Amino acid sequence: MSVTETGATLWLTGLPSAGKTTLAYELAGRLRSEGHRVEVLDGDEIREFLSAGLGFSREDRHTNVARIGFVAGLLAAHGVKVLVPVIAPYADSRDAVRKRHLAEGTTYLEVHVATPVEVCSVRDVKGLYAKQAAGEISGLTGVDDPYEAPESPDLRIESHRQTVQESAAALHALLTERGLA
C-alpha cells in the first residue's frame, strides 16, 4: 500500500455545535482533492440508519459509539480515511474504540474539538440548546448530561479561536505528521 492508501480513523469528539461535522467535511474535501479515499461517518446519519431505536442513555450511547467504531475500523483497515464527527461523551467508550483499532493494527486518532458550551449554545446548529433551555428536552450533553473531555487527545482544536480552514489545516497537519496524508 502506498501512503495515500493507508487508512485511519480520525474521531472528532466535542459538544453539540462544537464544529465537528463542519471540520470533518472541510478536511474530507481537502483529502479527496489529494486523491485519498475518505468517508465521513456523521453521527446524525448513523443514528438514523445504523443505530435507529437507540436512545441517549449511557448504555445506548456506548452501543452507538461501539457500532460507529466497528464500521470505522473496517473502513480504515481497507485503506479509507474515516472521519467521525461524533460526540461520544464517555471516555471509556472512546477508549474501547481505540483499543479495538490498536488490536486490529489500525490507526485511531482522537481530536477534541474543544469549543466552550457558551459558544456552542450560541451556534446551536440544531436548536438543541434552545429546546433544553425551554424544558422541551433533557439529557443534552455538556449541559444536563455528562461530557468527559479527552485528557490527552492526539490534537485539541479550539474552533472558536480560528477559522474552519485553519482548524482543517491543523487536522491535515496531524495526518501528515503521522504519515497519513
Residues that constitute the known binding site: 14-21
Asked if residues 175 and 81 have their Cβ atoms less than 8 Å apart, the reply is yes
Tally Cβ neighbours within 10 Å of residue 114: 20
Q: Which residues are annotated as a binding site for ATP?
A: 14-21
Calpha distance 111→152 (Å, rounded): 9
Among 159, 2, 27, 175, residue whose Cα is nearest residue 79: 2
Beta-carbon contacts of 25 under 8 Å, excluding residues fewer than 6 positions away, are 40
